[in-house]
Amino acid sequence: MKDAAERFAALLEELADLLELQGESWFKIRAYRVGARSVREAGERFETEARSEALDARPGIGAAIAEKAREWLDSGHLRTLDRERAAVPSAVVALWRQSGLPGGFVGRLWRSCGVTDADSLRRAWESGALDGLRPGDRQRLAALLGPRGPRSNGP
């Protein structure tokens, strides 16, 4: 069922996003993104292939992703994803999505400076807590931040 493939692929992408925010290795992040693409390509064959253990024969799908597919199909949950969701504050995810900044960069702000949302980003910027960032990272923030803090996307 194609819908199942799309839903599972979206879960793999979310997992990759959360790992990126946590500073996980690019190899692992890329593996989940490539796996998501391959699951989408399986389309309607996804569920049958996952249950018959043929999914891991697809390019980009290894034993770990194939096992996660079976876990999700059997239970409707991914323990790994639940664990990673718990590890990253939802405000950090929202900041990343709203700011347009790279996930790895937002993750570094969160892990090294305690930035979890737009208000804490503004406070860190104004207090000078972000002065020790790499020059490229400071330029990214300077493009986003004005003298009064993050630019709002809302009214």
C-alpha closest to that of 122 among 87, 143, 147, 86: 147
Q: Please, is 92 exposed, middle or buried when counting C-beta atoms within 10 Å of its C-beta (0-12, 13-18, 19+)? A: buried
Average pLDDT value over all residues in the chain: 88
**For residue 131, is pLDDT > 50?**
yes
Instruction: Supply the pLDDT for residue 2.
Output: 60
Amino acid at 22: Q
- Measure the CA–CA gap between 94 and 88, rounded to whole angstroms: 11
**CB-CB contact of 118 with 93 (8 Å):** no
pLDDT digit string, tens, across residues 12-51: 999 999 999 999 999 999 999 999 999 999 999 999 999 9
Domains of the chain, residue spans = 2-87, 90-150
Gap between the terminal Cα atoms of the chain:
41
**For residue 149, is pLDDT > 70?**
no
pLDDT digit string, tens, across residues 65-95: 999 999 999 999 999 999 999 999 999 999 9
At residue 153 the predicted structure's pLDDT band, cuts being 50, 70 and 90, is very low
Q: CB atoms < 10 A from the CB of 31, how many?
A: 19
2-87 is a CATH 1.10.1660.10 domain: no
C-alpha closest to that of 72 among 151, 16, 7: 7
pTM: 0.85
